[in-house]
Amino acid sequence: MPTLNISDPETGACKRVEIDEDRMRVLIGRRIGEIVDGAVADMPGYKLQLTGGCDKDGFPMRPDIHGGVKVRVLLSGGPGYKPRRRGERRKKMVRGNTVTRETVFLNLKIVERPGHRRE
């Protein structure tokens, strides 16, 4: 069952919401950085921005890899790899920036609340 991790930048709070497969279909094909309606997560009136996630095997999504493919890339930092020494790079398996059926965990943040406008 897919899980949404919704963070609130104003308060620093985080809310975890499990959704069914029918509501997950709305998110399939969306990319990291896109804004979706909060009704997907039982938060009508809110606007949520997709910030990342991981697939069923635990591989993280990266915003710089296009599509929903799983690929091995040479990383020096960022999502999917934390170097232990300065200048260290390593090949790691990561997922692209598009939500697919294999995606089971999505990170979102609140960008607009009901009654408030985004600047």
- Note the pLDDT of residue 117: 60
Answer yes or no: is pLDDT of 65 > 70.
Answer: yes
d(CA 29, CA 26): 8
Asked if the structure places residue 59 within a domain, the reply is yes
Q: What is the pTM of this model?
A: 0.87
Number of domains comprising the chain: 1
What percentage of the chain has pLDDT greater than the value 70? 97
The DSSP 8-state label assigned to residue 38 in this structure reads: G
Asked if the structure places residue 117 within a domain, the reply is no
Asked if the structure places residue 101 within a domain, the reply is yes
Q: Domain range holding 89?
A: 3-112
| Residue 71 C-beta-side C-alpha neighbours within 13 Å | 13
Instruction: Give the long-range contacts of residues 68-73, CB within 8 A, separation 24 or more.
Output: 68/95, 68/96, 68/98, 68/99, 68/100, 68/102, 68/103, 69/95, 69/96, 70/94, 70/95, 70/96, 71/96
